[in-house]
Chain A
Amino acid sequence: MDITELTVHELQDKLKNKEITISEITKAYSDRIKEKESDVDAFVTILADEAIVKSRKIEEKINNGELKSSFAGIPIGIKDNMCTKGIKTTCGSKMLENFIAPYDATIVERLNKEGMINLGKLNMDEFAMGSSTENSAIKKTKNPWNLNTVPGGSSGGSAAAVAANLVPWALGSDTGGSIRQPSSFCGVVGLKPTYGLVSRYGLVAYASSLDQIGPITKDVRDCAMLLNVLAGRDEKDTTSIDRPKVDYVEALKNDVKGLKIAVPKEFFGEGINKEVKAKLEEAIAKYKELGAEVEEVSLDIAEHALAAYYIIACAEASSNLGRFDGIRYGHRSEKGETLRDIYFNSRSEGFGPEVKRRIILGTYVLSSGYYDAYYKKAQKVRTLIANKFEEVFKNHDVILTPTSPTTAFEFNSKSSPLEMYLADICTVSVNVAGLPGISIPCGVDGKGMPIGMQLIGNKFQEETILNVAYTYEQATNFRANYKPEFKK
């Protein structure tokens, strides 16, 4: 038995039956990282040795009854934009290359409370800006299915690590598709929760009104289990919502009979790869077979959403990234005598090209004379998009679309930033409207690369999309049929 092949719920079963120990799990992952990390380059910081020490402590705590959680001793990987006390949090940037967070993000506290073990911090596009992880200033992460292709982004390290069995599950963050798109490219499950379900305290901010933290896992049951740990109101994040606790695992009914699935025809039109479309159509047929009612609808929002997204996200980023001045933390230039020079030089040296591009774009759309034409208009479009989703959800339970118009592309294959932005065309509208969305694998293309299906729910309807995803997964079992091959 290869421990690293197992899902977390399988690990839990084996722990319960005393077939394996926590130390064995940690050791298996430590060995796996030694063997495969050099192929994938998913980690910014590896904590395998620390994890082994911690696993012994956790075992002690379990033995003397201090720790009772079923997650105690389960390893996890964390995207490198979530603060971990005493451990580097680089955000994939030269700006934060040596930044050691003085506190834990709320979600990291929650993992710690359960006794989970941090295996390391995972690579990402700098400040979560990108769709391929090529914008990382630290390293180039490869897609385990084909090492010549990107893992997607911005949570590329998280998705690649889960796909390559370097971690059993991981945390990602999603501002415009950054959990779902890399999950799609790497053939794993990724969920972006409803805005406000999960605390953002301690997440390095990119676009605060869009950012959400969520799970990236091997299967839907694991996804529901990790969401159980993450979800909930946090005093330290005023945008997190106080609502009754839900058990997302209980929502997995393996039944979609009578459920209404909307398929927006605009998400299957021009620009969507033929093989992607074909697999999605097979999935739709499968849902019909499973007893769901599928109806084609019109939801002509993708382009408006993408345009509004880049205006709003960059505007918020230009403000959020104003804090990096080289004084209290972050890269500090050796050049410059005056405070002003230090600001300019530290920022110009510390930020990479895409981050600068988005700061400039954001500053432009907020500047006097352009605010009304771009930012204000984009905020109206945002309402419009939310309204259009609401309209569809009046008569349907979920919306089904591709996660990405294509499968994973090769490195350096996008000729311009705008072309890269178009990779987010299927995912951004979900963030713009603040809805939950999940990506699950639904097959592979002719080259053996995974194809992702996105299921979008109404606000706080994670239970519905998880159940719909689970039912498909149980009926098709992608993991049993396909595995990443580390093609060179």
Chain B
Amino acid sequence: MQVSREQLLHIANLSRLNLKDDEIDNYLENLQEILTFAEKVNNAPTDGVDETIGANDNYNVFRKDEVIPFEDKEALLQNAYSQERGMFKIPKVIQ
């Protein structure tokens, strides 16, 4: 499949990434090459084969819904750019 510049920009937008002009050209070329290779999956004889869902066969793994308090709040917040009164601070969401 041919990837257009517009498609790439659309995907970058969905991925929340800004691309510079030189990056766009570079990624267009790479993406095309990689996707052309990835299309080899279409030559595989998969008629009647189910999709793999999860790497092993276990399903419905349950555990008790217990609250386990995490005491070290400081350790959590130290990685945040901005915090206030024990909470992560972000810019105004609704303009």
Contacts and interface: CB of A to CB of B under 8 A. Distances in A.
A238 interface: yes
Contacts, number: 174
Nearest to B56: A196
B3 A364 contact: yes
Given A330-B79, A361-B31, A377-B41, A387 B15 contact: no
Nearest to A194: B56
A342 B76 contact: no
Contact of B37 (A382, A383, A387, A418): A418
B63 A235 contact: yes
Contacts of A310: 34, 37-38
Nearest to B33: A418
Residue from the set B12, B37, B81, B95 with the largest chain A CB neighbour count within 10 Å:
B81
A182 B79 CA distance: 31
B1 to A, nearest CB: 7
B14 interface: yes
Contacts of A241: 56, 58
Give the secondary structure class of B's interface. loop
Q: How large is the interface on A (under 10, 10 to 19, 20 to 34, 35 or more residues)?
A: 35 or more
B2 interface: no
Residue from the set A85, A359, A381 with the largest chain B CB neighbour count within 10 Å:
A381
A374 B45 contact: no
B27 A357 contact: yes
A370 B1 contact: yes
A193 to B, nearest CB: 12
Nearest to A348: B18
A364 to B, nearest CB: 5
Interface of A: 85-86, 98-100, 102-103, 195-196, 209-210, 235, 238-239, 241, 303-304, 306-308, 310-311, 318, 322, 325-330, 332, 337-339, 342-345, 347-348, 351, 353, 356-357, 359-361, 363-365, 367, 370, 373-374, 376-384, 386-387, 416-418, 421, 434, 459
